Amino acid sequence: MPNLGPFFVTGLAVGAIYALSGVGLVVLYRASGVLNFAYGAIGATGALLAWQLVELGQPELVAWLVGVGLATLLSVGYGRVLAPQLAYRDTVVKAVATLGFALVLLGFTRWYWSDDPRKLVLPTDTMGLSMIGVRVTGTRLIGFSLAVLITIGVALFLNRTRLGLSMRALANNRDLSALLGIRVLHVETWAWLISGVLAGLSGLMLGDLVRLDAIVLTFLVIPAMAAAVVGRLRSLTGTLIGGLLIGVLEAVGTPFQTISPYRSVAPFIVAIIVILWLQRQRVITFAGRE
């Protein structure tokens, strides 16, 4: 039995970022009804821009801020320009539209930044400390802490602030909220903004921890969505747990020769088990908004 310690730690770190991504997805979905399939692509674009700026000699902090800024801009841009055109369609159509956005971003990032291998290096990669006999890099530590802190922060925001309350109202019943005087567009824009910031952050961290590649980062929306599924697309705690679980499951498969090439199937397996569990209690839908 190989020593799983280091893999467990790696898994927790990556899983925490999956969870962070998942939180961004859930907050947006609950407030606007849009499950954003372009989430990973948005993060990817931001991360690649940050890398580009560092290559061009810009100071790193500036590059990362601009990267996250671009991600936020893309998210809010879509949310203010394209999403409102589909505001009265059902959730499936809204989600399908984000696929279109994802394709556009994917096409652009693959065209502009071709498939050459590149690395996103953060100074915290080389720092580290030893915990319970395992060496943990600074990046992983920061990633994990950031994810947990932000998840708690978002939960507090939703529960303790006025804007958060408006967002929860919107998630509950959109039309009724509008009637009650909640500025729907205003609240939604904030949701797209928060989601964009989280996407940018996740993109950067995953670009460092996993790989800085347009396709890989775009499709890391899959473990993020799997984490969100564990949270039933509503619970932040569930998403956090789901993300960590998926990250760890993926990572601990590494030292085992036979299953190692297939370990990225972990999000799918977790998601399908959760869905099997959820579908016992069947919900009958009438047409239109679900």
Partner 1 sequence: MVPGSLKQDTTAQGQPVTSWPTAAVSLGNVAAIAVPLILLALILPAVLNAFWLRALTSSAIFALAAAGVALLYGRLGLVSLAQIALLGVGSWVTLRLAHATGLPFELVLLGGGIAAGLVGLVVGLPALRMRGLYLALITLMAAGGFQVIVGGTGFPDGGPGFLGRVDSAAARQLMARPVIAQSDSAYFRYVLVVAALGFLLVALHRRTRPGRAWALIRKSEACALSAGVNVTLYKTWAFTLAGFLAGIAGGLLAGSVGQLDGRNFPASDSILLFALTVVGGAYSGLGPAITGLLFRAFPSLLTAWNVDGNLAFIVFGAALLHALITAPAGVAGQLSDLVDGLRQRLKRQKEPGQ
The verdict on 49 binding partner 1 (CB under 8 A) reads no
Nearer to partner 1, 115 or 132 (CB): 115
The verdict on 106 binding partner 1 (CB under 8 A) reads yes
C-alpha torsion 204→206→209→211, nearest 10? -100
The verdict on 179 binding partner 1 (CB under 8 A) reads no
The verdict on 118 binding partner 1 (CB under 8 A) reads no
Considering only residues 51, 101, 144, 190, which one is a binding residue for partner 1 as defined by CB under 8 A?
A: 101
Considering only residues 37, 39, 51, 144, which one is a binding residue for partner 1 as defined by CB under 8 A?
A: 37
Look up residue 247 and give its two tokens.
């990250």
Residue 211 has φ and ψ, to the nearest 5°, of -160, 140
Only one of the segments 96-104, 141-149, 152-160, 178-186 lies at the binding site for partner 1 (rule: CB under 8 A); that segment is: 96-104
The verdict on 236 binding partner 1 (CB under 8 A) reads no
Q: Is-contact 72 196, C-beta < 8 A?
A: yes
The verdict on 8 binding partner 1 (CB under 8 A) reads no
Give the list of residues 6+ apart from residue 224 with CB closer than 8 angstroms, or none: 18, 21, 22, 24, 25, 39, 40, 202, 243
Q: Is-contact 154 24, C-beta < 8 A?
A: no
Q: How many residues line the site for partner 1 (CB under 8 A)?
A: 54
The verdict on 131 binding partner 1 (CB under 8 A) reads no
What is the residue-wise DSSP string for 84-114?
A: GGGTTS-HHHHHHHHHHHHHHHHHHHHHHS-
Only one of the segments 14-22, 99-107, 117-125, 163-171 lies at the binding site for partner 1 (rule: CB under 8 A); that segment is: 99-107
The verdict on 156 binding partner 1 (CB under 8 A) reads no
Look up residue 275 and give its two tokens.
């869905």
Nearer to partner 1, 85 or 130 (CB): 85
Look up residue 191 and give its two tokens.
């949701």
Considering only residues 157, 219, 235, 254, which one is a binding residue for partner 1 as defined by CB under 8 A?
A: 219
The verdict on 110 binding partner 1 (CB under 8 A) reads yes
The verdict on 192 binding partner 1 (CB under 8 A) reads no
C-beta neighbour count of 237 within 10 angstroms? 13
Q: Is 214 exposed, middle or buried (0-12, 13-18, 19+ CB in 10 A)?
A: buried
Sign for the CA dihedral angle at 77, 63, 122, 207 comes to positive
Only one of the segments 131-139, 186-194, 202-210, 259-267 lies at the binding site for partner 1 (rule: CB under 8 A); that segment is: 259-267
**Contact positions toward partner 1, by CB under 8 A?**
35, 37, 82, 85-86, 88-93, 95-97, 99-108, 110-111, 215, 218-219, 222, 225-226, 229, 233, 261-262, 264-265, 267-268, 271-272, 275-276, 278-279, 282-288, 290
